Each structure stands twice: as structure tokens, then as C-alpha cells.
């Protein structure tokens, strides 16, 4: 993992991207089954950073965000984590060396310095560093932190586990090794759209990719950022906002949520912090006809 050095200024706050994986690729047809390769080929600004036109491969990144306020250190989305058993996903299986802890140490932070962890949703690539392996047990990585997770999201995954013959395999095993230990520790905090933990912060409803997917707005100075997780995966969804990924639990709702989010971002001048954009990881959006574009 690497950390952006200067940070994004947000009044008295600063936002840093902690990069877990700079680039991984997925076939267009697998990621976006409804995509038209010929229509995408017109948008050559996507190539090669976000989409390789010749090979029809989507190129994504993976990162956490660190928000430093005068009184709080906040982490948003926890990537894959180390030493996790993910046999169905070889790139994530038993990873080591991508240490979030080392990246935080490089900017002077220890696990004990983290006050709040927020998971936009509970997919395996957003909760991995919630826990670490200590003496053969999964324990919360950040001993002083509260872990904010969506109430509806927690309810959904608990129901999935309760009805499964193999609950330990739910969500690639992430529910068992990266969520349940946090719940058992008493550090978890259920949150819902509209909730606020401090001045200038609130959680927002971004359901669709998962049933309880949340966003988090933080305002500082004359800027507002929206940590939007997987409500949008790739810049190619800007000219094609109705394209939802194959990994969305409700693709139609995901498209509605994304359009509403992009409309609001364009109108209010929000800075979006998606979980998988490469390069510029904090972006502004403008309308372009019935679709959208990156704003300079």
C-alpha cells in the first residue's frame, strides 16, 4: 500500500488516498454485461487508464481513504486485508505485504490513533483491514476505533449467514473474519442515512450495489466530499450512467442511485471519492447532455 503525500484540503481537514492496488483488470462483459463495446470505443479518453479499448478490459484501482480532522482520524473502506482465506478469488487469497498499518506508520499514525472506521458496504474488498490475525484469531485492527456500518447492510448479511449451510463462506468469508469479530468486540456502531457523528458529517443512502450501501459526506471550508464506495465503479459510467456492474445486488436500483448521486454532485459541486477510480481518486462531475463527465 502507498499513501498520497500532500492530501486533499478540506478546510481544516485533509483527505488522503491509501492505495492498496493501483490496477487490476476485469473483462468488460463480466463487469458490465449490458455494455456496448462499440459505443465505449468513442470515449478514447478512457483508454488506457480506465478501459483498454483493444482488449475490452476494465482497469480499476483499490484504495482506502484517510480523513484527518483536528480531533479525529477516520478511515473509509478497508480493502482486502492480509492473510484472508479467499479461495474463490485467487488475487485476494492469503495476501501479505500490502500492509495498511505500514502505510499509516509512514505518515505517523499507529492503529491506536484511528478513531473511526466507516465501511460503505460489507463486500470483501471493503472490510478486509477491519481485522488482523493475532495468535490465530481475527481481532479488530484498530483497538480504539468505532466501526460504523450500515444498519440495513448488517441486517442483510446476518440474514444471508443465518440461512446458509456454510455461513463461513458468505461474502468470500469476509462476514466471518472481517465483520463478526468487530461485532463481538463491541466496537461496531450501526448507522443509517441521515445520521451524523460530528458537525459537517452525515451518512447518505446509496443503496443498490448492496441493499444497505451508504455514503458519507464531510464538509470543510468551501468543499464537501462524498465517499461513495461502489455507487460508481469506473469513469466509463459517467457517459453511461445506467450501466450497473454484475456485482450489484439490484442493478436497476444501483442505476437510479447513481444518477441521483451524479445529479446532486453536479448541482452542488461535490467532490466524489469512489473506491475504485484510478489516477484522480477525488473528482468533480459536470452534466453533459443526459449523462456526465469529469469536471476540470
The per-residue pLDDT for range 199-208, each reduced to its tens digit, is 999 999 999 9
Question: What pLDDT does residue 167 have?
Answer: 83
Question: What pLDDT does residue 99 have?
Answer: 78
Encode pLDDT of 19-73 as tens digits. 988 899 999 999 999 999 999 999 999 999 999 999 999 999 999 999 999 999 9
Confidence band for 91, pLDDT divided at 50, 70 and 90:
confident
Q: Please give the model's pTM, rounded to 2 decimal places.
A: 0.96
What sign results for the dihedral spanned by CA atoms 119, 122, 126, 130?
positive
The owner of cell 461535490 is: 270
Nearest one of 260, 256, 265 to 225, comparing CA atoms: 265
Q: What are phi and psi of 153, to 5 degrees?
A: -65, -45
When pLDDT is averaged across residues 128-151 and rounded to a whole number, the result is: 98
Question: What pLDDT does residue 127 have?
Answer: 98
Residue 88 pLDDT > 70, yes or no? yes
Residue 146 pLDDT > 70, yes or no? yes
- Return the bridge partners of 139, or none: 132
What is the Cα–Cα distance from 84 to 92, expressed in whole angstroms?
7
Amino acid at each position: 500500500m502507498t499513501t498520497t503525500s500532500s492530501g486533499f484540503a478540506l478546510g481544516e481537514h485533509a483527505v488522503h488516498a491509501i492505495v492498496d492496488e493501483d490496477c487490476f483488470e476485469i473483462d468488460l462483459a463480466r463487469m458490465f454485461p449490458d455494455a456496448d463495446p462499440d459505443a465505449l470505443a468513442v470515449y478514447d479518453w478512457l483508454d488506457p487508464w480506465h478501459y483498454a479499448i483493444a482488449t475490452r478490459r476494465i482497469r480499476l484501482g483499490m484504495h482506502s481513504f484517510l480523513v484527518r480532522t483536528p480531533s479525529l482520524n477516520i478511515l473509509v473502506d478497508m480493502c482486502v486485508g492480509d492473510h484472508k482465506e479467499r479461495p474463490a478469488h485467487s488475487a485476494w487469497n492469503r495476501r501479505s505485504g500490502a500492509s495498511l498499518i505500514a502505510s499509516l506508520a509512514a505518515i505517523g499514525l499507529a492503529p491506536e490513533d484511528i478513531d473511526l472506521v466507516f465501511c460503505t458496504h460489507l463486500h470483501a474488498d471493503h472490510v478486509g483491514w477491519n481485522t488482523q490475525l493475532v495468535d490465530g484469531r481475527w481481532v479488530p485492527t484498530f483497538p480504539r476505533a468505532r466501526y460504523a456500518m450500515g444498519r440495513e447492510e448488517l441486517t442483510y448479511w446476518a440474514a444471508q449467514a443465518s440461512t446458509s449451510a456454510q455461513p463461513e463462506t458468505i461474502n468470500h468469508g469476509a462476514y466471518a473474519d472481517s465483520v463478526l469479530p468487530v461485532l463481538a468486540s463491541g466496537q461496531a456502531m450501526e448507522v443509517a442515512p441521515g445520521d451524523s457523528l460530528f458537525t459537517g458529517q452525515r451518512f447518505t443512502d446509496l443503496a443498490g450495489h448492496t441493499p444497505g450501501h451508504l455514503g458519507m459526506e464531510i464538509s470543510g471550508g468551501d468543499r464537501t466530499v462524498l465517499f461513495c464506495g461502489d455507487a460508481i465503479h469506473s469513469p466509463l459510467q459517467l457517459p453511461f450512467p445506467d450501466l450497473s456492474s454484475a456485482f450489484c445486488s439490484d442493478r436497476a436500483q444501483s442505476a437510479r442511485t447513481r444518477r441521483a448521486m451524479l445529479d446532486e454532485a453536479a448541482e452542488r459541486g461535490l467532490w466524489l471519492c469512489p473506491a475504485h477510480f484510478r489516477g484522480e481518486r477525488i473528482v468533480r462531475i459536470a452534466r453533459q447532455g443526459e449523462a456526465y463527465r469529469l469536471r476540470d
